[in-house]
Structure 1
Amino acid sequence: MQARPTEGTGGVIDDIERIGIATVLGLMTLVTFANVVARYVFNSNILWALETTVFLFAWLILLGASHGVKISAHIGVDVILNLLPPGLRRAMVLLSVGLCLVFSGLLLVGAWQYWWPFATTRAWFEVNDIPMVFFPDLMAELFNEGEEYEKMPRFIPYAALPIGLLLLTLRFLQAGWQIATGRRDMLIASHDSESEEMMAEMSREADAGTLDQALHPSRRDGER
């Protein structure tokens, strides 16, 4: 059983993840394509392209990890779980959710402790190559005692850590609640459900072929 469509807070998280993933993928594609054109057509180079794609890839991984929990895309093994009775299976799945929450919670605390100094006492730290183009005067006034940034401050790309891990933790909480209330069976996609979907698809294709032969018997005669 897959998770049902969510509303409210879950819907907001859905929007953040989907828009974020689409935006990051689009920017990565655009920057990489522009750099390839600059290198092979104009014999030049976009200095900040590599660093930009590295940071964007980090955002993509962390947002994707969160969204993967929602759509049951993470890899897992359910051989033993499928042998258990429903009640014990749910208990084991909830135990795994609890362990995932502990893991993501520890990562979230560590990510916050790592990121927060870059937004406060070390806000003057800049990245290596990416120029500061987003509200430079305002950012300098708020975070750098009025001194203008030449490059993007590190706390902006590094924010992927606390934001991504916060979303991941919220997704595990959401999944745990759905499993506890019977709206979801597993954290991962069940292999049995995948097999059933595959068999159903094959059955539909076979039925479509039979119907086509019934409607167009001349095709079958011609093939003979």
Structure 2
Amino acid sequence: MKLLDHLEEYFIAVLMAAATLITFTAVVHRYLSGIDIPVIQDALIKINMSWAQELTIYLFVWMAKFGAAYGVRSGIHVGVDVLVNRLSEKNKKVFILMSLGAGAIFTGVVGTLGANFVWGMAHTDQTSSDLEMPMWIVYLAIPLGSYLMSFRFMQVAWHYVRTGDLPKHDHSHVEGLDVEEAVEAAQEGALQPKTAAGDKL
């Protein structure tokens, strides 16, 4: 599972980095192409960057599908649990497992419908307008992302049955920053303001 987790994270990071780099390059290209510098302008105009917007859109589609699966695993999806939290522990567990099961079934159905759609499209000559890439490759994000999301729902459900814990995203956590140490340092006076002479107040 750790290998799959890391592959998922790296894949999303690569997609995000590629989309950012392509967008930045396209914007710089468009800006410099408009500046009247004879040699540079002529060279840049010869470079065709019309495909950049289309590729960026496809990268974001793939990122969204796999990011949704990551969201299930890490508990960052928004959920309304006001009524569920008012139930007894036994009923609460039943409702949580029902919702996770419904998520797994729904995304599994979407994945299957997407796979049938991609299979049918793979037998056509349909390509994208700018990249001229086979469209079945673009739409492959639907079954792959949906099946991964369905698997993540089942994984969370199995973990909940075994431990009683659900994944929760800590919005106050910042990677590389230990908030507790900063608070302790502030309480000990290490971060107290100083006077102009350099003495502590």
Q: TM-score range by the shorter chain?
A: 0.7 to 0.9
Q: Which has the higher strand share?
A: 1
Q: Could you tell me how far apart the structure 1 residues matched to 2:192 and 2:25 are?
A: 55
Q: CA deviation at 1:35?
A: 0.6
Q: Gaps spanning 5+ residues in structure 1: where?
A: 1-9, 131-150
C-alpha separation between the residues in 1 aligned to 2:60 and 2:187? 47
SS at the partner of 2:115? helix
Separation in 2, partners of 1:87, 1:100: 20
Q: Quote the residue 1:117 is aligned against.
A: 120
The corresponding residue for 1:23 is 14
- TM-score, normalised via structure 2 length: 0.79
Shift in CA distance, 157/218, structure 1 to aligned 2, threshold 3 Å = closer
TM-score normalised per structure 1: 0.71
Give the total of aligned pairs. 183
Compare relative contact order (CA 8 Å, sep 6+) and give the higher one, 1 or 2. Answer: 1
Runs ≥4 residues deviating over 4 A? 201-206, 216-224
| Unpaired segments ≥5 residues, structure 2 | 35-44
2: distance between equivalents of 1:168 and 1:51?
Answer: 25
- The residue type equivalent to 2:19 in the other structure is M
What residue identity is the alignment partner of 2:136? F
RMSD of aligned C-alpha atoms? Answer: 2.8
Within a 5 Å distance, the mapping from 1:1-224 to structure 2 comes to: 10-43=1-34, 44=45, 46-119=49-122, 121-122=123-124, 124-130=125-131, 151-182=132-163, 184-186=164-166, 189=168, 205-212=182-189, 222=199, 224=201
Aligned residues: percent identity? 30
Asked if the contact 2:186–2:192 (Cα under 8 Å) also holds between the matched residues in 1, the reply is no
**Residue pair 1:93, 1:186 contacting (<8 A) in 2 also:** no
